[in-house]
């Protein structure tokens, strides 16, 4: 027998098809509280979409450690070969709205949450090891150039190239974005990178700087511009369909996690600023160390509850893993939880996808909208009446053994001129690694939109390409001529 249809208060509903009306032809009576509840709830079904990375897909799975990392970190999930930790992962595009096509030329978000016994650890990265910027103060301006023009409400190549032409630190990431790796085939066939430098510390109190790399075991595959254009039309949700379908079919996608590890003292002498997000550390300097396998094997039961309301944050750190002085990372440590308090609500960490699954939250924060939420793990939240600390009532206590080793800092508090940094060398190195066909595809893709912008912007971009490699600039100039016919 089917269950009763009920209202939100659990009361059985006799008629869900006909409003309560005075006479056969109406009008409708205000006492039809079921109708009012239904319409009122419907009006509140949407929450603000993420200000960036609005379109995405996600799934649960496991992380299995294949190499003990205790010499670098005391983080619980990185100790003991064979240990398995539950994960949730969300992939995304960046600039488009929640309903935009999956096949856009855009970086892809790659956000991983480890539900560890010492709390949730999030690595909120992209499918590229670098980013367009090295200072978070520039992020809102950059994103405005990726979104719609405030007057035309159209995507705006002039704004995009104008910004990049005035911010040469973007060239490395622009070169990746415009290359044949710029449109991943889907989410399974791409790598993920923590991108920033993070810190690890071990039981002896030694600190290491680390970069996280998730390499796809499905192989890296990408779409050409023509293939992507076709897909956008016939199946704008192709990456969601692919991920969901693969998991339903039992083909769990996997990634191998590698680390690049730099002893703390190397940071001062290494030629590359390790806290500059526009730069990679060549593997010849810091080789990849295999750490474990990430597998996605369980689809969410409710997309909105578990993926739309997932709140990943670089500030979700656990003992043994910390931040670094990277200016972009520092801005992100603030931005995500702040965005989520607005997007989801102050108690967003009580939702099942966001609350710790393997750790018991014990703190003195209380009340607020929707307090007492639905975390099904480890019993109800914050049952204790003690809402202040310290106390003499057996409330939770701080534990100094979890303290991060101190970080030495020096210098004046100031705004340092970013133009003093080196910008184009690694973009040139990447260009020189490309085959002739790849170089031409890069130049053609750039020219398709750079040909639409004003001459001064083009000139500034050509000067940047020339700084990276003279041939890079020549090819783009020729490709622009070819577009103009």
Nearest alpha-carbon partner for 276 in 391, 101, 387, 423? 423
Nearer Cβ to ligand HEM (139/364): 139
Comparing every residue's Cβ against ligand HEM, the nearest one is 109
Nearer Cβ to ligand HEM (132/201): 132
349 a catalytic residue: no
Q: In whole angstroms, what is the distance from residue 267 CA to residue 255 CA? A: 28
53 a catalytic residue: yes
Q: In whole angstroms, what is the distance from residue 228 CA to residue 34 CA? A: 46
Number of helical (H) and strand (E) elements in the chain, helices listed first: 13, 10
Site for ligand HEM in 317-336 (CB under 6 A): 328, 331-332, 335-336
Nearest alpha-carbon partner for 314 in 113, 88, 21, 115? 113
Instruction: Confirm if 282 and 217 have CB atoms less than 8 A apart.
Output: no
Does residue 192 belong to the site contacting ligand HEM (CB under 6 A)?
Answer: no
Does residue 146 belong to the site contacting ligand HEM (CB under 6 A)?
Answer: no
User: What DSSP string runs through 142-181?
Assistant: HHHHHSB-TTT-SB-HHHHHHHHHH-GGGHHHHHHHHSTT
Q: In whole angstroms, what is the distance from residue 393 CA to residue 169 CA? A: 54
Is 336 marked as a binding-site residue?
Answer: yes
How many degrees, rounded to 5, is the angle at CA 453 between CA 450 and CA 456? 100
Nearer Cβ to ligand HEM (60/336): 336
Residues 58-77 as x/- pattern, contact with ligand HEM by CB under 6 A = --------------------
As measured in angstroms, the least distance from the Cβ of 199 to ligand HEM is 16
Residue 450: which H helix or E strand, with range? Answer: helix 436-450
Nearer Cβ to ligand HEM (134/207): 134
Buried b or exposed e, range 135-165, using 16+ CB within 10 angstroms = bbebbeebeebbbeeeeeeebbbebbbbbbb
Q: Which of 61, 109, 182, 274 binds ligand HEM (CB under 6 A)?
A: 109
As measured in angstroms, the least distance from the Cβ of 132 to ligand HEM is 8
Segment lying near ligand HEM (by CB under 6 A), choices 120-128, 284-292, 315-323, 440-448 = 120-128
Does residue 125 belong to the site contacting ligand HEM (CB under 6 A)?
Answer: yes
Applying CB under 6 A, the residues found at the interface with ligand HEM are 50-53, 56, 90, 92, 109, 111, 124-126, 131, 136, 139, 195, 310-312, 328, 331-332, 335-336, 339-340, 343
Residues placed in the known binding site: 336
Catalytic residues: 53, 126
């Amino acid at each position: 027998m089917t269950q009763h249809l009920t209202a939100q208060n659990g009361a059985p509903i006799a008629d869900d098809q006909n409003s309560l009306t005075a006479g056969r032809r109406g009008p409708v009576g205000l006492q039809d509280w079921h109708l009012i509840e239904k319409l009122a709830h419907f009006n509140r079904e949407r929450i603000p979409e993420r200000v960036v990375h609005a379109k995405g897909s996600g799934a649960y799975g496991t992380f299995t450690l294949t190499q003990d990392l205790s010499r670098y970190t005391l983080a619980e999930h990185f100790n003991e070969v064979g240990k398995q930790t539950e994960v949730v992962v969300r992939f995304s595009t960046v600039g488009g709205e929640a309903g935009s096509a999956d096949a856009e030329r855009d970086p892809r978000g790659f956000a991983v949450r480890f539900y560890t016994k010492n709390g949730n650890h999030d690595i909120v990265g992209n499918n590229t090891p670098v980013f367009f910027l090295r200072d978070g103060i520039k992020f809102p301006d950059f994103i405005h150039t990726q979104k719609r023009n405030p007057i035309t409400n159209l995507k705006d190549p002039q704004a995009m190239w104008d910004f990049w032409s005035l911010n040469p630190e973007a060239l490395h990431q622009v070169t990746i974005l415009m290359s044949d790796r710029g449109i991943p085939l889907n989410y399974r066939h791409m790598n993920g990178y923590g991108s920033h430098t993070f810190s690890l510390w071990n039981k002896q109190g030694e600190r290491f700087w680390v970069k996280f790399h998730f390499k796809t075991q499905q192989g890296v595959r990408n779409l050409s511009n023509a293939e992507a254009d076709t897909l956008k039309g016939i199946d704008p949700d192709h990456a969601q369909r692919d991920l969901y379908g693969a998991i339903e079919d039992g083909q769990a996608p996997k990634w191998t996690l590698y680390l690049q590890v730099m002893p703390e003292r190397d940071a001062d002498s290494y030629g590359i600023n390790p806290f500059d997000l526009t730069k990679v550390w060549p593997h010849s300097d810091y080789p990849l160390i295999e750490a474990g396998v990430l597998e996605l094997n369980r689809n969410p039961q409710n997309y909105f509850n578990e993926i739309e309301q997932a709140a990943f944050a670089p500030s979700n750190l656990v003992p043994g893993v910390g931040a670094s002085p990277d200016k972009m990372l520092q801005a992100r440590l603030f931005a995500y939880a702040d965005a989520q308090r607005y997007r989801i609500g102050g108690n967003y960490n009580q939702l099942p996808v966001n609350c710790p699954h393997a750790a018991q939250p014990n703190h003195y924060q209380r009340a607020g909208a929707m307090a007492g939420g639905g975390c099904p793990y480890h019993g109800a939240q914050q049952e204790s009446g003690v809402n202040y600390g310290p106390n003499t009532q057996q409330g939770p206590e701080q534990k100094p053994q979890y303290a991060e080793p101190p970080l030495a800092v020096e210098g004046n508090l100031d705004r340092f001129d970013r133009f003093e940094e080196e910008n184009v060398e690694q973009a040139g190195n990447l260009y020189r690694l490309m085959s002739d066909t790849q170089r031409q595809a890069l130049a053609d893709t750039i020219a398709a939109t750079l040909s639409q912008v004003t001459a001064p912007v083009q000139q500034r971009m050509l000067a940047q390409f020339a700084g990276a490699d003279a041939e890079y600039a020549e090819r783009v100039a020729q490709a622009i001529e070819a577009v103009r016919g």
